[in-house]
Structure 1
């Protein structure tokens, strides 16, 4: 099989570079759509279920929880790791669930964009194919 000519290789690199750039633009548009859909939870936040016991009864509630203090306390100027959401199915609970969903999708898209940026760097720097040192 004949080796590709240098011109063909450069055209191939340019075409792949452009396809990756278009993909990154499409992913960034998806991120913009996520921002329009509503609030985004703090990075690393999740919705947690917890139980309260009172006079022989158990109640289940939900809270939005962050790894570091993020939420404004209602009674002081301090920040808290927790935001009470109430019972399952309340609007505040569902909004929090969706904000965590949007954050996780946003973060995954961002990871993909970073990976594609590395691909662009490989193509543009010529480091896709490197010579290996012979091992003894």
Structure 2
């Protein structure tokens, strides 16, 4: 099989570069759609379920939790790691669950974009090797 000519290789690189750019653009549009759907939870947030016992009864509640203090406390100027959401199925609970979901999807799309950016650098810097 004949070796590809330099012009063919440059055309191939340009075509691959353009495909990657289109993929990045599509991913960025997905991120914009996520933002239109609602807020993103803080980085590293999750919804936690906890139990309260009172008069021999058990009650289940939910909270949005983060690793570092982030939420403004209602009674002081301090920050808290927790935001009380109430019972399962309340508007606050569902909004928090969906914001955590959107954060997860946003972060995953961002990781893919960074990977594709690295691919663009590989193509444009000429650091790729042809194995023919």
Provide the alpha-carbon RMSD of the alignment. Answer: 1.2
Structure 2 SS opposite 1:107: helix
Match of 1:86 in 2: 86
| Corresponding residue for residue 35 of structure 1 | 35
> How big is the shift at 1:13?
0.1
Normalised by the length of structure 1, the TM-score is 0.94
CA displacement at 1:128 relative to structure 2: 1.7
In structure 2, what is the Cα distance between the partners aligned to 1:129 and 1:90?
56
Are 2:6 and 1:6 aligned? yes
Output aligned runs, 1:1-136, within 5 Å: 1-129=1-129
TM-score by length of 2: 0.97
Q: Which runs of 5+ in 2 are unaligned?
A: none
* SS in structure 2 at match of 1:64: strand
How many residues end up aligned between the 2 structures?
Answer: 131
The superposition leaves residues 21-60 of structure 1 with CA deviations (integer Å, 9 ceiling, x where unpaired) of: 0100110011011111101100000000001111111111
CA distance in 2, matches of 1:128, 1:32: 32
